[in-house]
Amino acid sequence: MTAPPTTASRADDRPVLLVLFGATGDLARRMLFPALFELWERGLLPDRFEVIGSGRHSPGTDQDFRRDVVEAVAASADGADRAALERFAERVRFATASAEDGAGLAAEVEQRRAALGEGCRTFLYLSVPPGQTDGMLRMTEREGLARDATLMVEKPVGEDVDTARALNALLATLAPEERVLRVDHFLAKESVRALLALRTANPWLAGSWDARHIASVLIDVPEKIDIEGRAAFMERTGTFRDMIPTHLCQALAAVAMEPPSSDDPEAERAARLRLFEQTRPFDPARTVFGQYEGYREEDGVAADSTTETFAAVEVRIDNPRWQGVPFLLRTGKALDSADHRLTVRFRPTDPKDSKDPKDPKDSTDRTDSTGRTADAEQGGAEAGTELVVGLSATADVRFGVRLSRPGPRPGLVDGVLGLEPLPGADASLGAYAQVFHHALSGDHRVFTTAAEVERLWELAAPVLADPPPAVRYPRGSSGPEVPGVADPASDREG
């Protein structure tokens, strides 16, 4: 397969050594190695680039590990050129390490840095379970691995406010903030980047992006798959911790934050933080948890487990732009759809239905959590239109419009303007390829800051302290009923 074109460029050709902790894990096999191969195949990695995979248990010889990498990438990158894959894998080797013993890895890193030559940059990527992050970081400090290295830490960063603060404090002792990259790949999705540009770079839409014009926002990230053998992770973390204060809140930021003051990466990160500071802590009474039927029979799951595999949260933002607008964040496993999308529901255009969001009487009770007004339920010309943006690999955009009804009968009919796929989609990079590309380029806009992470855990704290019971729901359904929220299945096409 020939690599598709790309408009991205190689920003820095200094040699790079990437040390990947958790290199035999699920994320590395499905996402990280395929992303690195994507960059390598497009010529976006330095000529002198190597990967040292690491984990507690050796997969065998370096050649054995390379075969594993080739098979993993081939399974994820449909049509990948086998010969190119094998050439890529020559840059990969393995060294065992644990929180207790990293001496062998440290020796291997020192040797490979010397071989790569002067100016070699080292990146340490921690793709390990949350409970292992602290110990692995302390090992990198003890063995000197963190010295002058850039630390990349996969989400979730911590499991609540206290553990996030403790982990951020530890990271601060190992490296300055500019060399700490907290990874949430939703920030790097082409669709999320396109959404931010769509609403800020088009004056006709930017002028309508507020509570006066928008009734509600739905951010829906359902999955058809179940836990797929990841019982230990799910039992410890749950869907709420795994998805809501991370992926879905980052999508929320792309929808709701004020336009950054400049194109500087730090301006975008500051805008996200300001939004989260204006967001109310999540209300357990406006949160729904669910658990799919059969979850307790999964290997490794307790017979009386109360862990949620579904979470829906209504979010409110206290600023002039969004006062009174409900944002629904919804995600879950073993559902009837894997259609990731954002739905923005606009208010009716009839002047008598246009309310002032600055007036408390007009801003709080206009909508339920779906954003449907009483007028919208009645349909016809008084219902609001919708903007739907796909949140999968590349964005597709559909905008509801009203046109005059053809024929002799006067009136309006609903239509859809669509843009699918976006222009240049054949040159897009996968989310994790973007993560690595931004890291190597020194552009940190797609990485979260310590303050962002801690604020998001503060927002989640009330639900973590008083979680709602997990309602059972059938596999392949739309999930539990969410009070005040229309069945998402009713909004899907067809």
Active-site positions read: 247
Rounded CA-CA distance 453/161 in Å is 9
Beta bridge partners of 403: 413
> Cβ distance 126 to 145 under 8 Å?
no
Rounded CA-CA distance 366/325 in Å is 9
3-state DSSP assignment of residue 93: strand
Tokens linked to 294: 């059969």
Rounded CA-CA distance 182/449 in Å is 7
Q: Annotate 328-393 with three-state secondary structure.
A: EEEEECCECCCCCEEEEEECCCCHHHCCCCCCHHHHCCCCCCCCCCHHHHHCHHHCCCEEEEECCC
Helix locations, 188-335, DSSP H? 190-200, 203-206, 231-243, 249-256, 265-277
CA distances from 401 to 358, 371, 383, 386 (A): 27, 18, 11, 8
* Sheet arrangement for strand 341-346: 412-419, 397-404, 386-390, 341-346, 214-222, 327-332, 310-315, 287-292, 470-473
Q: What is the DSSP track for 101-122? A: --HHHHHHHHHHHHHH-TT-EE
